[in-house]
Structure 1
Amino acid sequence: MLRIAFKSLLAFLMIISLYPSGHAQAKVELISNTPLSERLHDITLHSPALGKQTSLRVILPKGYEESEQTYPVLYLLHGCCGDYKAWTARTDIEKITEDLPLIVVMPDAGRGASYSDWYNGGAYGPPQWEKYHIKELIPWIEQRYRAKGTREGRAVAGLSMGGFGAMSYAARHPDLFVAAASFSGVLDTNLDPEFLEKTIFQNQEKVPPGTVWGDRETNEIIWRSHNPWDLAENLQGVDLAIHTGTGEAGGPLDGGLESPVEETCFVMSTSLHNRLDELNISHVWDSYGPGSHTWGYWQRNLHQTLPRFMDIFNNPPEAPIPFQYKSAESSFSIYGWDVTFDREKMEFARLSDVKKTGFKLQGSGKADVQTAPWFKPNGKYHVKIKGDRGARVVKTRADDEGRLRVSLDFTSKHAGDELSVSIKHKKN
């Protein structure tokens, strides 16, 4: 008990590092932790990324306090118009995880905030839901509880807007999650921007048009930079499952209701499924026919998903090498690699064919690339940079951790230029 009390005190006072490491720090303050049952806790935190208090529920494994075992974590995301209580209020999640060695985390995400850092008319700033979930909540969970704390020990799933969140987070951060599942998810926002802007953003968050991702016509790149369909290539190596009904009447778990919302989600889910097929990315595709946008189906999806997740946790696939990653952010970190662009406008860039012998980078302007610690510490290397206008060789040295830094200058200011970098160890 003394050890548990000491850990609780540390969690209350702890300064939590942003995730991934290597950035500034943010304080996540524990406001309250209320046990609702032997395993279920209702928790309130203060989040700097949100600029306010926010709540979550955590389900611990049976016998957690007596054990010293570490556990995988499932981040279970709610849909539009719901909150962090939805999964425990509407499903048997506590009962069906009773005998599983699993921590379940159910965070709040706003009624229609769409798991994103808001544009706010170009001012950005709070609420930053992605920053909260990824850079504050995950590290807090992994320091507060005996979580495994690796990609192989994290999965994410959600329904409707939460299905979008699960696939968007997995696509934007494939180095954080080994598996992702969507239940009736909003998985291709290119198909019906008005559905999100009016039905979710304006009607639920009560914000002016363009607040969340900006105006679609002038800020399309922000919309697409969060869209699972546009980021589908990043999902290579993540175990994926997509579940959806068609929205047609006659489903078995809803009294035969028709659902235009489920029909919209079906079209979007089908679009991502087809895109994954085009990319030869393996995934579970469960299109179960007539069925509405209701909890009976999502509970069934959850029952189908949990055994799969537990199998993956027990035998996780290795992170892909070589890998590729597409992002529109001016700087990003992926599998230990850090890329920062100095360019005129936001646009997609692609880091690809990444392995120990080199990589390719597509983009514009100038870029600074720091590799993962894959190389001999303090070792000397020849780096050959090749583009349309020829090639040059740069001599460099790895740092004490075995990271190389490569500066790239693209030949034009237009997206689409690609530089190929080969790396060769120079033996003394």
Structure 2
Amino acid sequence: MKIQPTAYIRLILTLLGGWFLVTAMVSCKKETPKKEEPIPFVRLLKDRQFKSNILKRDIDYAVLLPAEYENSNDSFPVVYLLHGFGDNETAWITGGLIQYYVDQNAASTVPMIYVMPVGFNSYYVNKYNGQYPYMDMFVNELVPLVDSLFRTKTDPNQRAVMGYSMGGYGAMIMPVKNPDVFKTGVALSMSFRTNEQYLDEPQSVFDYQWGPIFGGYGMSGEARFTDYFKQYSPFQFLQNTDDQSMTGLNLFFDCGDDEESLSETNNLLHSMLRDRSIKHEYRMRSGYHSWDYWKKSLPEALKYISYAVQQKPYPDENNLLDYGVEISSDKILLHQVEASEQIYHVVLPSDYSTTTSDYPVILVFHDEEINVPPQVSNKILSLLNNQIVAAKLPASIIVEVPVGASQPDQDVIQKLINEVDAEYRISDKREEWIAIGNKNGGRLAFDLVSQHSEKIHACLLFDALLPDNPDITDTSIIYYLDITDEGLQYKTNNELYLNLRKNEVPHEYRVRQGLASDNDFLNGIFEAIGFINKNLKS
């Protein structure tokens, strides 16, 4: 059938109208918007990078944000974490497990932002020839960048630097050279050299590690002491009494006593700071150049930084540790040395009356503070007795000798030992005798051991008043030196430590928080229980 033109046009219009109607109906349907997934909060930001115009290269860094960052608008203090020679910006994450330790110590610290930049092998300073101004990059690019990207507190009191080894030096020198940017430095096993060590450094080591940074490449002798080095070595600029660059800062140093040379480096710096009355904290514990040591430093280091950013004074000494139940007075046997005014106390093991055994001896010379009640003697006896009851020490006879400024001579002490020997069943094996003393009592213990090495196996000295330039060569005695960082005898104790190291005499060295008080003596004994147990062979 033939379709007329007009009918054809009407058909086309009808079809088009239907198409427009369907299209309009479809287009009128509301599209359901896609639900946007929230971006999860990530505390540890790794693999970050920025272009340094100063160094003309990319700088890698990582950031650890506090857990409180997500749900608040607060700003936070910033801690810059510096790595050691040969490491990179990942070291504090993989080796230091920084997020774990920050979270573990959250109860004793304020929330803070931690920034971990790559430091190359720069020692975190500008090179002497201006060719690699790392410190300039750090202060003028990295710090402003962090402040622009994160909610940071920008006052210098709210910024700290902490580092280990090479980073320990960086943590010290950054605040010294930039006090308007950083007020706090925490140096763990600070890697640097005393003047003497710098001169003795083998040429190949010097030319690789020090000469390219501080100048003097290829030089020996005092030619190594370039003008630039003198500006950046604390062993140089602290000799200038007019130099105040380390005054007014919050400085914390911590180093292991088993370090090859850095323990001597850090000890000397502590002594120089003490000589100049520059406020700081210093710790020395058992350990060497390792993450195992530095991770054990973190609880107090983080606490110290937390105090600093809150601008709170750090406590001069620890609280007295819990020494346990006080011993009853009827168990303390009072004696007086014949033909002498010297008294002493004896505490016997609980099984003494039911056995026929001979017992080891713990001989304690206790320097009593003026106007301190006699209960301090009871606390010492209680502490040691409780450790015996808890089987943390072998059953032993405890002999406590209180001494004052007018200490007894060695003849009186010899009489005392003879009386104890005659009265009680004590061991005649030198491995089962230990002498302990603090202050003047420490000098008594030191002299006794020096004169009677056949009798005593180990000697523990706490803030002891030692002779100048001691020279100990007897390797059959093991020494435990313990001094508080505010103690007055820091020079002579360090001299003895150096002497024992040089002569390879067995020893341990501790520097603790404290003021050399009776409480500090008790805390020191408590911390030495493991050493006493190890060396009191029953």
Q: Which TM-score tier does this pair reach, normalised by the shorter chain?
A: 0.5 to 0.7
The Cα shift of 1:285 comes to: 1.3
* 1:299–1:47 CA distance, 2 compared to 1 (3 A): same
1:235 corresponds to which residue? 246
Partner amino acid, structure 1, of 2:179: P
Distance change >3 Å, CA 56–CA 68, structure 1 → 2: same
Q: CA deviation at 1:82?
A: 0.8
Q: 1:268 to 1:305 in 2, by over 3 A?
A: same
- Which residues of 2 match residues 249-328 of structure 1 at below 5 A? 262-288=259-285, 290-316=286-312
More helix by share: 2
SS in 2 for 1:230: helix
Tell me the alpha carbon deviations over residues 232-289 of structure 1, each in whole angstroms, 9 at most, x when there is no partner. 5311111111111122xxxxxxxxxxxxxx222111111211111111012111122x
Q: Which residue of 1 aligns with 2:518?
A: none
Cα distance in 1 for residues equivalent to 2:194 and 2:139? 22
Cα RMSD (Å):
2.4
1:29-428 alignment runs, 5 A limit: 37-98=42-103, 99=106, 100-110=110-120, 112-119=121-128, 122=129, 124-125=130-131, 127-193=132-198, 195=201, 198-199=204-205, 202=208, 210-215=211-216, 217=223, 220-232=226-238, 233-247=244-258, 262-288=259-285, 290-316=286-312
Q: Secondary structure at the match of 1:224?
A: helix
Q: Which runs of 5+ in 1 are unaligned?
A: 1-34, 204-208, 248-261, 318-428
Q: Structure 2 stretches of 5 or more lacking a match?
A: 1-39, 239-243, 314-538
| Structure 1 contact 56–107 (Cα < 8 Å) conserved | yes
SS at match of 1:300: helix
Identity of aligned residues (%): 28
Give the structure with the higher percent strand. Answer: 1
Aligned residues: 258
In 1, distance between residues paired with 2:85 and 2:41? 24
- Name the amino acid aligned to 1:117: N
Task: Return the offset for 1:186.
Answer: 2.2
Give the distance between the partners of 1:276 and 1:114, measured in 2 at CA: 22
* Alignment partners' CA distance in 2, 1:36 and 1:151: 28
Q: Taking structure 2 as the reference length, what is the TM-score of the superposition?
A: 0.45
Structure 2 vs 1, CA of residues 114 and 293 (structure 1 numbering), >3 Å: closer, same or farther?
same
Any conservation in 1 of the 2:47–2:61 contact (CA below 8 Å)? yes
Letter in 2 for 1:182: A
SS at match of 1:210: helix
The aligned amino acid for 1:113 is S
Residue aligned with 2:235, SS:
coil
Cα distance in 2 between the residues matched to 1:196 and 1:134: 33
TM-score (norm 1): 0.56
Bigger radius of gyration among the two? 2
Deviation at 1:199, TM superposition (A): 3.9
Structure 1 231/114 Cα, relative in aligned 2: closer, same or farther at 3 Å? same
Is the contact between residue 76 and residue 157 of structure 1 (CA under 8 Å) also seen in structure 2? Answer: yes
Cα distance in structure 2, aligned partners of 1:104 and 1:75 = 6
| Alpha-carbon distance in 1 for matches of 2:135, 2:206 | 17
